[in-house]
Structure 1
Amino acid sequence: MEWPLLLYIFLFYWNVLNALFTVEAPQSLYTVEYGNNVTMECTFPVNGKLKFRELSVSWEKKDELKKLVYVLLKGEEDFKSQHNDFKGRIKLLKENLNLGQSLLQITDVKLRDAGIYHCVIGYRGADYKTIHLKVKAPYRTITQRVVSTGHNEWKLTCQSEGYPEAEVIWQNGDHEDLTDKANTSYETGRDQLYRVTSTLTIKSRIDGIFYCIFWNKELQENTSAILHIADSADGNLWTENRRFVGATLIVTAFVGSGLLFMLCIRKARANKDNRTPVSSSSIKKLSKDKDTRDGRDASFEDRELKYMQVEKT
């Protein structure tokens, strides 16, 4: 009879202790944008100086299967049981544990991080709270392209990534709806994001203005881009002309170098052919003239010498 009584007393006091130890969640829902960081919080009573050896903290994600996000067991971190989805992106701000705060930081948030989390604290009692994490991925950046197909017909394209699937609305400069004339396709891109591409083919004058609007119904957000045919067409023509001119300059330089080289060779050959050959008789004549001139110079010197000696006498 004593054992049932002791068990009853133990269970009674255990429930009382657990009733005194409660975990709270100051914020039950967090919304974060894809690629950013988020810090979720739950609190627990410390009642004096915290003894880490008695503290256990666990953050779990409740999917079809439980995924361990972070575990601190009796003051020691355990990363061996951490799910692969969170490796390298999780940090518990341990300096806040003394204040009774369990702050879990997730960096570079992915779409798969969205869901329900349990913050479980064991410290002279045990309790947990449920926290929801919502991840949004707006269609922030829109890539545009304008291509002329001839006869005042233009192909306008807008592309962007986000989540969930967005509707693309087309309007002209007078804000008339042209969506029915567009072709929109969807494909799964990186990290479960949707890559949405929409193309509108339309006839327009050169200064036409058009709008493509990505409407995210679930987030109640829209992002728009303005396509100005004149600006875009000029840009495309300039790019194509620049490439054409660059190629032309390269070919011209190459051909010019070849022609110059051939001209130099021809000139060298012409100079060689136009040289006047010197005969051996001419060489002999030049040598004879030189000897005669040398002899005359010697006779002139002898006469000068004799004249100077007579005048001295």
Structure 2
Amino acid sequence: MECTFPVHEKLEFRDLSISWEKKDELRKHVYALIKGVEDFKSQHSDFKGRIKLLKENLKLGRSVLQISDVKLRDAGFYRCVIGYGVADYKTISLKVKAPYRTITQGIVSQGGNEWKLMCQSEGYPLAEVIWQNKEYEDLTYKANTSYKTGSDQLYRVTSTLTIKSRVGENFYCIFWNKELQENTSAILHIADSIDGVLWTESRRFVGAILIVTVLLGSVFLFMICIRKARANKDDRTLVATSSTGKLSKDNETYDYRDACFEEQELKYMQTEKT
């Protein structure tokens, strides 16, 4: 913001006083320069650390006030009072705009080729959300749009559209700010990433089935092995009772037995001989 004053020849800083204040229900002191010296003691807390007077412009007769980190509550009327030889003042109206620059998007599959599309953004003043398909047909009447305000006074606008569509289709959500006469848009693309997720989960499910199948097969083979062992043990006992010597020399008796129990049989024969 800027107000001007006359400067003849060289500016005398010790003779210059400048005051900026905001005219709300209560006057808020924004900035003060008294006889060339800055005074922040009476500055309102709303402007602490955000105000700077561009002193290089003073010698040109310009009082330029800079406000950083601008907030919606900064909007309003400001009065600039200049004291330099004679006093004069000027009232300035400050308007604050907050365009809907960033749009957050979301796409959720509802099953059966039905999709839920979501767009959300923050700005000021309140914007209208328009939905279109790739042929630019208006789908706004099918959408559900809501908003809420935060501590920063910005409008957080959320709009959802539930629609049937094939993979590969594009849709547009447009935030139209009528007061600022500007719009911000986003493209939502229906991709087949959801199928990829389902495929990954299915693949893991098949892997689990294979693991279970292998375990069950192992248990089954183990049970067969135990049954064979018990049968061989009974045959071995009968042969050992009739003739221990024949058991160690008879090839036919050795051949019909399960090879996986060879070592146990040898130990058993040694025990019988002892």
If the length of structure 2 is used for normalisation, what is the TM-score? 0.70
Shift of 1:46: 1.9
Shift of 1:115: 1.4
Shift of 1:213: 0.9
Q: 1:56 to 1:168 in 2, by over 3 A?
A: same
Secondary structure class of the residue paired with 2:64: strand
Structure number, greater radius of gyration: 1
Equivalent residue in structure 2 for 1:175, among 130, 136, 141: 136
Gaps of 5+ in 1: 1-39, 260-272, 277-313
Secondary structure class of the residue paired with 2:152: helix
Q: 1:239 to 1:65 in 2, by over 3 A?
A: farther
Query: What one-letter code is carried by the residue in structure 2 that aligns with 1:228?
Result: H
* Runs ≥4 residues deviating over 4 A: 236-242
Shift of 1:113: 1.1
Moved more, 111-120 or 94-103: 94-103
Q: How does 1:148-227 map to 2 (within 5 A)?
A: 148-189=109-150, 191-227=152-188
Q: 1:46 to 1:213 in 2, by over 3 A?
A: same
1:94 correspondence with 2:55: yes
Shift of 1:227: 1.1
Secondary structure class of the residue paired with 2:136: coil
1:106 correspondence with 2:98: no
Shift of 1:208: 2.0
Aligned counterpart, 1:132 = 93
Q: Distance in 2 between matches of 1:214 and 1:180?
A: 15
Q: How does 1:9-24 map to 2 (within 5 A)?
A: none
Secondary structure class of the residue paired with 1:112: helix
Note if contact 2:128-2:176 (Cα within 8 Å) is conserved in structure 1. yes
Aligned counterpart, 2:34 = 73
If the length of structure 1 is used for normalisation, what is the TM-score? 0.62
Shift of 1:120: 0.8
Aligned counterpart, 1:263 = none
Secondary structure class of the residue paired with 2:78: strand
Query: What one-letter code is carried by the residue in structure 1 that aligns with 2:59?
Result: N
Q: Give deviations 1:244-274, integer Å, cap 9, x for gaps.
A: 69xx6xx99xx9xxx9xxxxxxxxxxxxx99
Query: Pairwise CA RMSD of aligned residues?
Result: 2.8
Q: Distance in 1 between matches of 2:199 and 2:156?
A: 31
Q: Using CA pairs below 8 Å that are at least 6 residues apart, which structure has the higher relative contact order?
A: 1
Q: How does 1:241-280 map to 2 (within 5 A)?
A: none
Gaps of 5+ in 2: 216-262, 268-274
Query: What one-letter code is carried by the residue in structure 1 that aligns with 2:186?
Result: A
Note if contact 2:109-2:194 (Cα within 8 Å) is conserved in structure 1. no
Query: What one-letter code is carried by the residue in structure 1 that aligns with 2:161?
Result: L
Q: Give deviations 1:109-131, integer Å, cap 9, x for gaps.
A: 11111111111100110001122
Secondary structure class of the residue paired with 1:192: coil
Query: What one-letter code is carried by the residue in structure 2 that aligns with 1:85?
Result: D
Q: Distance in 1 between matches of 2:149 and 2:40?
A: 31
Q: 1:171 to 1:121 in 2, by over 3 A?
A: same
